[in-house]
Amino acid sequence: MSRHDPSLEEALAGVTAAIRDEADVRRAMERAVQILKQMVPAYTWVGIYLLEGNELVLGPFVGKPSPHTRIPLGAGICGAAATERKTIVVDDVNADPRYLACSIETKSEIVVPIMDADRVLGEIDIDSDQPAAFGAADRTVLEAVAAALAPRLSGTR
């Protein structure tokens, strides 16, 4: 994706507004994943995991049901991103030994932690059927979405 992809910028404006305006935090997360999925065709599965103790628990998602509804912090690309507290982009999931398969069609993945200062609250996880689907623009937009979600999630605890 190009650095100034209009669809991504439009998605960011819509998601930020939805996250801000929805009174219910669960609904805010649902709107966020729906808007991202609709606006970026390369995103084939979009979900949010919430950290509960030492496990990531699947919250709202759009796409095929995932077998990974609870992921220990030590497992998967999801667990690695939460443990390292940083965004992880995997251009070829089949070449990454950490990868927990959700769908045979998935080729690449991005996981973006949702942080309140140093505390991980959850993460945004997106799969694509295209290899290397996630570039610098995707990372920037998704980190902004995570930053918008953080105060909503921390306020519910």
Q: Which is nearer to ligand SME, 76 or 122 (CB)?
A: 76
Question: What is the nearest approach in angstroms of ligand SME to the Cβ of residue 68?
Answer: 4
99 binding ligand SME? (CB under 6 A): yes
125 binding ligand SME? (CB under 6 A): yes
Question: What is the nearest approach in angstroms of ligand SME to the Cβ of residue 10?
Answer: 25
Total of chain residues touching ligand SME, rule CB under 6 A: 14
Instruction: Please report how the helices 6-21 and 25-39 are oriented relative to each other, as an axis angle in degrees rounded to 10.
Output: 170
Q: Which is nearer to ligand SME, 16 or 121 (CB)?
A: 121
In the complex, residue closest to ligand SME by CB: 76
Q: Any long-range contacts for 23-32 (C-beta under 8 Å, 24+ apart)?
A: 25/152, 25/153, 25/155, 25/156, 26/59, 26/60, 28/149, 28/152, 29/59, 29/60, 29/149, 30/60, 32/60, 32/124, 32/145, 32/149
Q: What is the DSSP string of 56-121?
A: EEEEEEESSPPS-SEEETTSHHHHHHHHHTS-EEES-GGG-TTPPPS-TT--EEEEEEEEETTEEE
Residues 52-71 that bind ligand SME (CB under 6 A): 66, 68, 71
127 binding ligand SME? (CB under 6 A): yes
Q: Which is nearer to ligand SME, 30 or 109 (CB)?
A: 109
Residues 68-87 that bind ligand SME (CB under 6 A): 68, 71, 76-78
Structure-token match 């077998």, residue found: 67
| Chain residues in the site for ligand SME (CB under 6 A) | 45, 47, 66, 68, 71, 76-78, 99-100, 102, 109, 125, 127
